[in-house]
Amino acid sequence: MNPSALEYRLYYDDEGRPITMASHDYPAGNYVVIDKETYDRAAYGTMRVKDNKIVTVEEANKYRVRLVKSRRGFAVARGNANLLLNKNETYPDIEFYDFDPERNR
């Protein structure tokens, strides 16, 4: 199938919150047609659907948590805490971060 012939859809709930996206095998439900860039970005936490249009919301801040170095928690590449490693992934130099109990109440 030609990628340019695909219709990219963002499905949303009754409050306009994104549920899922699809480019084929379309499920039933409320949706808006989106461009491929929006589909690829999949920034669910920063968009809502209002009046059949995507609007940006500032909810990304709502989900931020502070992480601190620890002996267990999330495995990351040393010196690059945004490079989260999968459980089965091997990496030569790992450090761990976990939720900061003082800042995440």
Summarised one tens digit per residue, pLDDT across range 41-52 is 888 778 889 899
3-class state of residue 44 by DSSP: helix
Parallel, antiparallel or unpaired: strands 8-12 and 31-34 = antiparallel
**Range of lowest pLDDT (11-15, 29-33, 62-66, 89-93):** 62-66
pLDDT in tens, 59-99: 544 555 677 888 888 888 888 877 888 888 888 899 998 88
Q: What is the pTM of this model?
A: 0.52
Q: Are 21 and 39 in contact (CB under 8 A)?
A: yes
14, 28, 54, 65, 95 from 61: Cα distances, Å: 23, 31, 19, 9, 25
What are the two backbone dihedrals, phi and then psi, of residue 72, each rounded to the nearest 5 degrees?
Answer: -150, 180
Instruction: Kindly tell me if the per-residue pLDDT of 23 is higher than 60.
Output: yes
The whole-number pLDDT of residue 60 equals: 40
- The set of residues, in sequence order, having a beta carbon less than 8 Å from that of 7 and lying 6+ positions away, is 23, 26, 33
As a whole number of angstroms, the distance between CA 8 and CA 78 comes to: 37
